[in-house]
Amino acid sequence: MTMSWKLICKQEDLIEGAGVAAMVNGEQVAIFYVPESDNKVFAIGNWDPVGKANVLSRGLVAHLQDQWVVASPLYKQHFVLASGECLEEDIKVPHWQAKLEGNEVFIAAN
Amino acid sequence: MISSVSFLTTKPHLVVIGNGMVGHHFVEQMIAQAGHEAFQITVFGEEPYLAYDRVHLSEYFTGKGAADLAMTDGTLYDEHGVRYFTNSLVTEIDREAKTLILQNGESLSYDKLVLATGSYPFVPPIPGHKRDNTFVYRTLDDLDAIRACAKQVTRGTVVGGGLLGLEAANALKNLGLETSVVEFAPRLMPVQLDEKGGAVLKEMIEGLGVKVYTDTATKEIIDGESAFHRMNFADGSHLETDLILFSAGIRPQDALAHQSGLTVGERGGISVNNHCQTSDDDIYAIGECALWNNRIFGLVAPGYAMAKSAAGHLLGDVGVTFTGADMSTKLKLLGCDVGSVGDAHAQSQGCKVFVYQDEISQSYRKMVVSEDGKKLLGAVLVGDNSYYDTLLQYYLNAIDLPEQAQALILPTMGDAPVGLGVDALPATASICSCHNVSKQDINDAVCHGALSVGDVKGITKAGTGCGGCAALLKKVVDNELLALGVEVSTDICEHFAYTRQDLYNLVKVGGIKTFAELLNQHGKGHGCEICKPAVGSILASVWNDYVLKKEHISLQDTNDRFLANMQKDGTYSIVPRIPGGEITPDRLIVLGEVAKEYGLYTKVTGGQRIDLFGATLSQLPEIWEKLIAAGFETGQAYGKSLRTVKSCVGSTWCRYGVNDSMKMAIDLENRYKGLRSPHKIKFAVSGCTRECAEAQSKDIGVIATEGGWNLYVCGNGGMKPRHGDLFAKDLDDETLVKYIDRVLMFYTKTADRLQRTSVWMDGLEGGLDYLKEVVIDDKLGLCAELEASMQHVVDTFQCEWKTTLQDPEALKTFRQFVNYEGSDNNVVFVEERSQMRPATEAEKQQLIAKVG
């Protein structure tokens, strides 16, 4: 399987310790910049399946039980940034591999 | 003349006669089980008031009003189609025709009838018992009459030294009368206490200045020489007194049963079976008028249990029966603890007793145990009720006593744990007998997310009847929380082992300016959505930095992060500040124009402002540019901070206004508008005592008086309404502001995160008096610091939107997408009442289908 990296934006477009939204192939992606983490950047779907709105990029980033998560700004469920899994409910949002190279941000597009 | 009341309904007609605590509880039970759908329910009450809390009747003398004691204001009845009539005495039941006749001559038919007529006070037929200045103690009207008489006289006497008699004696004492109690039996509280217990209680009560005559029969009441009455006793002695209050027990109010030929007991009471049915299958009797197994139950909890079984039977649930009730009680009478459990008189066959008596500190305790010493059968407590809960649980649940059973009534020595840990209670243990709530019910409530005593009360109603189980309830809740692994910890979260108050002090004293610094010095890990916004708020309270600064932006919660209020579809609402609700026509037009331009849904808020809904993230800066150009500032509706100062128009326009509430409101709003606090804060200022601004429901309420301003603190509307406490009276402008500065800063400094002032006050040790000592008397020597802190916040105010518009870094964060100029296609609006609103899921699918 080949994986192609897609350039999304520059590092200066990101917000330290928080998320921004990007449009990738017609899909909304939430990109988080967490300088303290090993991976630095994460990408999950922007759609909140509980609140039913495109808002996850606007949630608060938290570190719980050794995982980086975002708390939905609507009803506060936590989604793991690395996997898209929800800590409270048996649901999952899409996630993509992401990387910061130089000052460019990429996600793995299919 | 007899007119007829008829109701147009096809449902069977259920009539409840009597609207006391039990009659009301019956209606509640019916409604809870949807009985109002099966029956047309009609309630008749003889008194002018709907049901009120007779258990706490005496509090009517210590500041509570009729409204505080009311168990309903009629809303519950109205909402469920229950008709109710006060001042309506039913005088006759015609069981053949199934009709009732009222005192006013009206008649109406019934299909099922519930008698909840309660009891009436027994007045011994002593010659002279009908003289003026003689009273009973049963209704609010009785209390009004007693109060009116007590104002004129100096001496009062209660005839009857039982539970209610002593309660009444306490009331007379509180009304400032020289008080005596005359009891026919050889001791006080003859039903609940044994001889020694009664003697100890007598001594304690006499120590409080109340004269007690036991073993005393009153022969007659005649004109007194030095007082209004003279009571002549059988032994030849006499007592002079101005006011006599009869409280010699109760008698079931069974007049209707006599009149209509229902079976009644030899000594009164309407005979009922286990479903509380009388000798007529269509008529039920519940509460103190009912006689079950030849017993009358004069407490509220058994009455509630009867109400439940009658309601169950009417609705086809025959499983809920009334089969007697525990009559154990604990009380504080005249400040003395008295408790009585089960067989207090040791009448069970072969029983043995343990007794502990301490004549120095005046306490007496007795345990009655079974012949084999294994079970507790009864107990008497005088002087210290802290032993009651444990004893009651042993008794009610028939738990085997420990080997050294006497330890249960011995004083605690050293650290040895005494009593029964709540985890030893079986799941079926009854914690609240008024509402029949078991330990299991509490466990269930906790498992379903009730994480505080308040939550558990709300769900189970435990602790909301007589309130006697409050301490036990708290222990059980804490224990359940612990058992579930919910640590009853005051740490704010896993990243900081500190309370919010600790963090505030660390930030202030350590001069800490950023979250990273605080985490580095005092925390661990990387923070979460609990500690980040809490610390963000503390940093703002102390240093008042711009909240979207690079080092603060990731701390801000949903609304603070974008300085607007996120709505369910991810769009925002915008609320500019309109201090005191005063706005010029020109500015009003600007709001209209902006709303029109961006197609925003427009609504006037509860805080006298205007809310514009439906702006997308990227529209926020553009809209604010226009608002600021027109002279508006941010309203901080998104922050845990001062929201609004609501105001009436005040003395400048109003015919009744006594002071300029408008100016005061605007000044206060402008002073405190920048303050970040543990939770949102609302103010109101009323220009006179008519209180049109509803200031008593606000965190800070100010009401104009002839002498200046009255200040109320810690009120709340919302989910748990609380009237503000009157903090200080007739203040001048300067003192008013000084006190508000101090109260708000003390709250900001000491409250828990997301704790409103009302809850803060309720949890403040020492309550209102303590707060007064801190703020008015400067007990903690803090006032100068509190004022300086507030002045710093006032001096460093900035409009966060103005700052944002000048900060390109901050503006960057308002882009909808970092790599695309389009908008969020999930934000869809439809029109309703000439404005737009978010489309529902179904509407969205329809709209998308059309487009597709």
Please name the fold of domain B560-629: Sulfite Reductase Hemoprotein; domain 2 (3.90.480)
Number of domains in chain A: 1
**Which of chain A's residues have a Cβ under 8 Å away from the Cβ of B819?**
8-9, 13, 22-24
Asked whether the predicted pLDDT for residue B314 surpasses 80, the reply is yes
Cβ contact (<8 Å) for B819 and A61? no
| Residue B764: closest CA among B746, B786, B782 | B746
Q: Which of A12, A60, A104 to mutate to test the interface with B (most CBs of B within 10 A)?
A: A60
Which residues in chain B have Cβ-Cβ distances shorter than 8 Å to A21? 816-818
CA distance B9 to B13: 8
Q: How far is CA B587 from the centre of its chain?
A: 42
The continuous run of DSSP H or E covering B256 comes out as helix B255-260
Q: Per the annotation, does B276 bind a ligand?
A: no
Residue listed under structure tokens 């591999």:
A97
Is B688 assigned to a binding site? Answer: yes
**Cα angle at B169 between B164 and B172, to 5 degrees?**
130
Q: Which amino acid is at B195?
A: E
CB-CB under 8 Å, A15 with B553: yes
Residues forming a β-bridge with A29: A45
Q: How far apart are CA A29 and CA A23, in angstroms?
A: 6
Q: Where are the domains of chain B?
A: 13-120+252-314, 134-248, 328-416, 421-488, 500-543, 560-629, 642-795
Topology, domain B642-795: Sulfite Reductase Hemoprotein; domain 1 (3.30.413)
- All residues of chain B having their beta carbon less than 8 Å from the beta carbon of residue A106 are none
Size of interface A-B (CB pairs under 8 A): 96
Q: How far apart are CA B495 and CA B528, in angstroms?
A: 8
Side-chain-facing half-sphere of B155: CA atoms under 13 Å: 14
Q: What is the rounded average pLDDT of the residues B581-596?
A: 96
Cα-to-chain-centroid distance, residue B443: 22
* Shortest CA gap B564–chain A (Å): 12
Q: Alpha carbon of B71 to those of B17, B20, B22, B27, B464: distances in Å?
A: 17, 9, 11, 12, 11
Q: What is the pLDDT of residue B488?
A: 61
Determine whether the annotation assigns residue B654 to a binding site.
yes
The pairing of beta strand B572-574 with beta strand B565-566: antiparallel
Q: What is the DSSP string of B570-638?
A: S-EEE-B--GGG---HHHHHHHHHHHHHHT-EEEE-TTS-EEEEEE-TTHHHHHHHHHHHTT--B--TT
Inter-chain contact A62–B822, Cβ cutoff 8 Å?
no
Query: B332 pLDDT band (50/70/90 cuts)?
Result: confident
CATH of the domain at A103: 2.102.10.10
pTM: 0.56
Q: What is the pLDDT of residues B30-57, one digit of tens each?
A: 999 999 999 999 999 999 999 998 888 8
> Is this complex scored with an ipTM above 0.85?
yes
Residue of chain A whose alpha carbon sits nearest to that of B567: A74
The pLDDT of residue B486 is: 65
Q: Does domain B134-248 have CATH number 3.40.50.1980?
A: no
Predicted pLDDT of residue B600: 97
| Chain B residues with CB-CB distance to A17 below 8 A | 553-554
Concatenating the DSSP letter of every residue in B760-828 gives HHHHSTTHHHHHHHHHTS-TTS-HHHHHHHHHHHHHT---HHHHHHT-HHHHHTT-S-SS-----TT--
In chain A, residues with a C-beta closer than 8 Å to the C-beta of B811 are: none
Q: How confident is the model at residue B762 (pLDDT cuts 50, 70, 90)?
A: confident
Decide if A43 touches B, using CB distance below 8 A. no
Q: Mapping DSSP to helix (H, G, I), strand (E, B) and coil, where does residue B159 land?
A: strand
In this structure, is the dihedral angle defined by the CA atoms of residues B31, B35, B36 and B42, taken in order, positive or negative?
negative
**Average confidence score pLDDT of chain B:** 90
What sign for the dihedral angle of Cα B419, B422, B424, B425? positive
Of all residues in chain A, the one with the smallest CA distance to B556 is A60
The per-residue pLDDT for range B443-499, each reduced to its tens digit, is 888 888 777 777 788 788 887 766 667 777 877 888 887 777 665 666 788 899 888
Contact A55 B562 (CB under 8 A): no
Cβ-defined contact of A59 to B558 (cutoff 8 Å) = yes
Nearest CA in chain B to A71: B529
What pLDDT, on the 0 to 100 scale, is given for residue B191? Answer: 85
Q: What is the pLDDT along chain A (110 residues), one digit of tens a residue?
A: 467 899 999 999 999 999 999 999 889 999 999 999 999 999 999 999 999 999 999 999 999 888 999 999 998 899 999 999 998 888 999 999 999 999 999 999 76
pLDDT at res. B3 = 43
**% of chain B with per-residue pLDDT over 90:** 62
SS3 letters for chain A? CCCEEEEEEEHHHCCECEEEEEEECCEEEEEEECCCCCCCEEEEECEECCCCEECHHHCEEEEECCEEEEECCCCCCEEECCCCEECCCCCECCEECEEEECCEEEEEEC
What CA–CA distance (Å, rounded) separates B62 from B71? Answer: 18
Q: Do A15 and B818 touch (CB under 8 A)?
A: no
What is the fold of B421-488? Answer: Arc Repressor Mutant, subunit A (1.10.10)
How far is residue B841 CA from its own chain's centroid? 39
Q: Which residues of A touch B840 (CB under 8 A)?
A: none
Round to whole Å and give the CA distance between B642 and B639: 8
CATH for B13-120+252-314? 3.50.50.60
The span from the CA of B86 to the CA of B19, in Å, is: 8
Residues B392-442 pLDDT 10s: 888 988 888 888 888 888 886 544 444 556 777 778 788 887 787 888 888
Cβ within 8 Å, pair B553-A18: yes
Q: What is the DSSP letter of B298?
A: -
Cα separation of B124 and B250, whole Å?
11
B648 annotated to a ligand binding site? yes
pLDDT tens digits, B257-303: 999 999 999 889 999 999 999 999 999 999 999 999 999 998 888 99
> Across the interface, do A13 and B818 touch by the CB < 8 Å criterion?
yes
What would the mean pLDDT of B688-715 be, rounded to a whole number?
Answer: 95
- Name the DSSP class of B52: B
State mean pLDDT over B695-722: 92
Whether the per-residue pLDDT at B1 is higher than 50: the answer is no
DSSP line for B342-409 = ESTT--STT-EEEEEEETTTTEEEEEEE-TTS-SEEEEEEES-GGGHHHHHHHHHTTPPPPTTGGGGT
CB proximity A73 to B under 8 Å: yes
Minimum Cα–Cα distance from A35: chain B residue:
B526
Q: B558 and A64 in contact by Cβ < 8 A?
A: no
Residues of chain B positioned with their CB less than 8 A from the CB of A16? 550, 553-554
Confidence of residue B67 (pLDDT cuts 50, 70, 90): confident
Render pLDDT for B158-208 as a digit per residue (tens, 0 to 9).
Answer: 999 988 899 899 889 988 899 999 999 899 998 888 888 999 999 989 988
A8 vs B contacts (CB less than 8 Å): 818-819
Q: Which residues of B touch A76 (CB under 8 A)?
A: 529
- pLDDT (tens digit, 9 = 90+) per residue, B85-111? 999 999 999 999 999 999 988 999 999
Residue B702 Cα distances to B351, B534, B657, B690, B722, angstroms: 63, 29, 13, 12, 16
Q: What is the pLDDT of residue B463?
A: 76
Do B13-120+252-314 and B560-629 have matching folds?
no
Chain B residues with a Cβ under 8 Å from any Cβ in chain A: 494-495, 525-529, 532-533, 550, 553-554, 556-558, 561-562, 566, 568-570, 617, 812-813, 815-820, 822, 824, 826, 841
Q: Which pLDDT band, with edges at 50, 70 and 90, does B4 fall under? A: very low
Domain span including residue A105: 4-109
Beta strand pairing status for B155-159 and B178-182?
parallel
The reported pLDDT for the residue numbered B301 is: 87
Which tens digit of pLDDT belongs to each residue from B376-388? 999 999 988 888 8
Distance set, CA B248 to CA B107, B122, B184 (Å) = 35, 6, 9
CATH for the B328-416 domain, from 3.40.640.10, 3.30.390.30, 3.40.50.720, 3.40.50.11400: 3.30.390.30
Beta strands A27-33; A18-24: pairing state: antiparallel
Name the CA dihedral angle for B472, B475, B481, B482, rounded to a multiple of 10 degrees.
-150
